[in-house]
Amino acid sequence: MPTGINQELEFEKRISGMPDRTLLEFVARQNWETCIRCEAHDKRIKSLETGSKSISGITGGITGAITGIIIGVINYFANRG
């Protein structure tokens, strides 16, 4: 964790020492790189959004049922004694 704090402080120090033009170019570059990464992941997000809602519902229902059973068993044994 201290490494992260040191990196953050170094980053703040670096930004505060930049002239306005350099800072604007830095921010623009960071935004551009973020947008490029978002476009790469956009295809996966769209495939999730256009996927079958019935399969998602069934999976969610099964997961909920299993979770309910597990919690019920734990409560049964915890309150039994």
CA proximity to 12, closest of 23, 2, 1: 23
What is the reported pLDDT for 40? 62
Alpha carbons 53 and 58: distance in angstroms, whole number: 9
Q: Which residue has the tokens 């790469």?
A: 40
Question: What are the mean pLDDT values of the chain's consecutive 10-residue runs (81 residues total)?
Answer: 76 84 86 73 64 81 94 90 64
What is the per-residue pLDDT for 4? 74
d(CA 7, CA 44): 32
Rounded Cα gap, residues 16 and 30, in angstroms: 16
Tokens of 22: 């350099």
- Tell me the two tokens of residue 60: 């969610």
For 37-46, how does the pLDDT look when each residue is reduced to its tens digit (9 = 90+)? 666 666 666 6
